[in-house]
Amino acid sequence: MRAYNFTSTFQKILGFQSVFKSSFNVPSFRAMSSSTSISSNDPDINRTISYWFDGPNPMQKWFMGGPAVDSEIREQFLPLVERARANELNSWAQEPRGSLALIVLLDQFPRNLYRGSPLSYSSDSMALDVAAKGIAKGHHKQVTKLQMQAFYLPLMHDENVISQIAAMSFYESLVANCDSEPELQERVKMSLQYCERHRDCILKFGRFPSRNEVLGRTSTPEEIAYLKEHPSGF
């Protein structure tokens, strides 16, 4: 069966802010002053992007970093993450690399810094808002194919079926666009597989059961059985 192309529909939704808010149920990212401007050469933007995307296989750091990566992020980026969470870096979202770095600070690094705590998910809605508006402005098309994935991860992490459908569509398109880069394509295919599992989990339960204990939610018998078979549970 041919996958439904959700990309154009998703972008049309984003063109109508009221529809977007009701569909995704996320707070609006605080508006920036028109007098505020940033530079792509901002050292904090550059070091965030460099740390997360440079190297022969950065995806290994993303998904299999463990305590060593947690410690590195805590030492190098904790104050910056706290500033992002406090809405002090909102101006970054005006341009592609700034949006990219801000998403990493709001979506990725909290999972390392606050592992096992509700705080690990507490800025997900902010990251989703930055990512969705960045996609609407085409920011994801102005970074590398590897970096494009950062715009899609907040969709994958959202406990909302609309976000999951959008994430699947974007990842499928990215896989197709990596034909000339087979090594990268294989890595993106792995991300697509993770995305499919996230989507299936939301379709089945409407939420990620692995978050239940951390967030103080009571698991259903079906979720308990699922977690025994799939400990990650997303």
* C-beta separation of 113 from 74 below 8 A: yes
In this structure, how many other beta carbons lie within 10 angstroms of the beta carbon of residue 184? 17
Query: What stretches in the chain show pLDDT beneath 50?
Result: 1-9, 12-37
Under 8 Å CB-to-CB from 89, ≥6 apart: which residues? 44, 80, 83, 102, 105
Q: Under a CB-based contact definition with an 8 Å cutoff, are residues 212 and 219 in contact?
A: yes
Phi, psi of 5 (to 5 degrees): -80, 100
In a domain, 9, yes or no: no
Assigned domain for 18 exists? no
Q: What is the pLDDT of residue 232?
A: 73
Helix or strand (DSSP H, E) at 38: none
> Across 59-156, where does the E strand assignment appear?
none
Inter-CA distances, 79 with 29, 62, 86, Å: 20, 20, 11
- Structural domain harbouring 88: 41-229
Q: What is the total count of domains within the chain?
A: 1
The one-letter code for the residue type at 184 is: L
The whole-number pLDDT of residue 66 equals: 87
Confirm whether 11 is domain-assigned: no
91 found inside a domain: yes
Instruction: Give the pLDDT of residue 68.
Output: 92
Decide if 84 is inside a domain: yes
Q: Is residue 234 part of a domain?
A: no
**CATH code (residue 108):** 1.25.40.10
Which of 103, 110, 120, 81 lies closest to 211 in space, CA to CA?
120
Is 32 a domain residue? no
- pLDDT on residue 20: 39
Does residue 215 sit within a domain? yes
